Amino acid sequence: MKFKSLIAAASIAALSAGSAWADAHMDKVKVGMITTLSGGGAGLGIDVRDGFMLAAKMAGNENLEVVVEDDQRKPDIAVQLADKMVQSEKVDVLTGIIWSNLAMAVVPAVTAQGKFYLSPNAGPSALAGKGCSPNYFNVSWQNDAFNEAAAMWANDNDVKNVFLMAPNYPAGQDMIAGFKRFYEGDIAAEVYTKLGQTDYAAEIAQMRASDADTIYFFLPGGMGISFMKQYAGSGVDKAVMGPAFSFDQGILGAIGDAALGVKNTSHWSKDIDNAANKTFVEEFQKEYGRLPSLYAAQGYDTANLLLSAMEKASVTDADAFRAALKEADFESVRGKFRFAENHHPIHDIFMREVVKEGDVVTNKIIGTAAADHQDAYGGDCKM
């Protein structure tokens, strides 16, 4: 594979250029966390960081050292921070990136230099398939996962005709493609909106005029908030479904009652019934005074995966450490969790519904959308 030989060339060149692999410390693990802490989207990075730090604090493992840096959601800053982490901080493991485009900019370069990368969010298809790497472990999800599960749920639950909507950029196109991969019913329309669009009156009018019975959309962050508020005021009464990103705890507070009844797919929910999750939800609220989000859960899982590997192997022995990570011998807050051959998770994806508990708008699990779900790209991955 040309792709692979280039990676190999890059890693050899980087090593000969003086990469510091030699002075890695016995048993100590230094983690470089590059995440978004300022500007738009900072809420996600803060949650990942807080979840990670909570797990680190609870474990009390003194051999774990974490350096946190803010990428400002800019790919060029993320790349430079990765250089800094590798060249100056001499970290062993990197983690923290929230956005697919930043992950694509950073991950191939750092894994080629022999560092481990644990993804606490974002799973672009390229890194699950052709561009997979032995040193890259995705602890969150492959981008298509929630959408594939939603499609399976739609097939089983009498959804006959959907209206699809996403922003016009690669993640948006991937999400819709993921849904269409498994969906068997009719598609009334497929609409791509402008990235960052704030007014959806025109799209809502198209929805009203269409004969769809369900709206399926992916609009992360503020876009989803705007859409849901406007949809609720429009009087269109078609069912609404989507991946969890527009209905997470940090966002539901801003949408309010307008989100009630919406179905969304997620690998995590605060009401998943297992001991690890109960402890996590309790401790997170105690520590930070707010409900945890799925990003916080992912940060927490990422730290626990790393801690479990540190118990078993020294990071100086890359092969042993890699094998220890691959075992995924930790209590995931989402319940079942193991890695597929391409180092992406095999886990259950649940269908949640937005409900009101007292005054708080939040999610409740109503069923399993896809059991032991695995991404579709593993076949292209040759490690």
Partner 1 sequence: MRREAILNIVLFLLLPVTAGAALLLDEPFIITLATKAAILALAGVGLNIALGLGGLVSLGHAAFFGLGGYAMGILAAHAQSYTPLMETPFLIEGTKSMPVIWLVAIVVAGLAALAIGALSLRTSGVYFIMITLAFGQMLYYFAISWPAYGGEDGLSIYVRNGFPGLNTLDPIQFFAIAFVVLALALLLAGRLARSAFGLALSAARQNAERVETVGLAPYRLRLVAFVISGAITGLAGALFADLNRFVSPVMFSWQTSGEIMVFVILGGVGRLYGPVAGAALFILLEHVLGGLSEYWHVYLGLLLLMVVLFARGGLIGTVAGREVAHD
Partner 2 sequence: MTTILLIEQILNGLQSGIMLFLMAAGLTLIFGVMGLINLAHGSLYMVGAFAAAAVAAATGSFALGLVAALIAAAAAGALIELVVIRRLYDRDHLDQVLATFALILVFSEGTRWLFGSFPLYLDVPAALSGPVTLPGGILYPAYRLLIIGVGLLIAVGLFALIARTRIGIQIRAGEADREMIAALGVDISKLYTLVFALGAALAGLAGAMVGAIQSVQVGMGEPVLILAFVVIVIGGIGSIKGALVGALLVGLTDTLGGVLLPLGFGAFMDQSAATSIGSALASMSIYILMAGVLLFKPTGLFGEG
Instruction: Map tokens 């280039």 to a residue.
Output: 6
Q: Are strands 360-373 and 338-339 parallel, antiparallel or unpaired?
A: unpaired
Helix (H) or strand (E) holding 190: strand 186-193
Answer whether 44's CB lies under 8 Å from 36's CB. yes
At 124, phi and psi to the nearest 5? -60, 145
Q: Which does 274 bind (CB under 5 to 8 A by kind): partner 1, partner 2, none?
A: none
Contact partner at residue 123 from partner 2, partner 1, none, CB < 5 to 8 Å by partner kind = none
Lookup result for tokens 């950073």: 106
C-alpha dihedral, 266 to 267 to 269 to 271, nearest 10°: 130
Among partner 2, partner 1, none, what does residue 360 contact (CB within 5–8 Å per kind)? none
Q: Which residues lie below 8 Å from residue 320, measured CB to CB, with a gap of 6+? A: 312, 313, 314
First-residue to last-residue Cα distance in the chain: 11
CB 202, min distance to partner 2, A: 5
> Cβ 142 to partner 2, closest distance in Å?
22
- Kindly tell me which residue out of 201, 360, 371, 383 binds partner 2, with binding defined by CB under 8 A: 201
Taking CB under 8 A as the criterion, the residue among 54, 98, 225, 281 binding partner 2 is 225
> Does position 56 bind partner 2 by CB under 8 A?
no
Q: Which of 50, 57, 49 is nearest to 96 (CA)?
A: 49
| Site for partner 1 contains 291 (CB under 8 A) | no
What, of partner 1, partner 2, none, does residue 112 touch, CB below 5 to 8 Å by kind?
partner 1
Of partner 2, partner 1, none, which one sits near residue 193, judging by CB under 5 to 8 A according to partner kind? partner 2
Q: Which H/E stretch holds residue 202?
A: helix 201-209
Q: How far apart are CA 36 and CA 100, in angstroms?
A: 13
Residues that bind partner 2 (CB under 8 A): 38-40, 42-43, 46, 168, 173, 190-196, 198-199, 201-203, 205-206, 208-209, 221-223, 225-226, 229-230, 232-235, 250-251, 253-258
Residues that bind partner 1 (CB under 8 A): 2-3, 6-7, 9-10, 13-14, 17-18, 37-39, 42, 69-70, 74-76, 79-80, 83-84, 87-88, 100-101, 104-105, 108-109, 112, 124, 168-171, 173, 192, 194-195
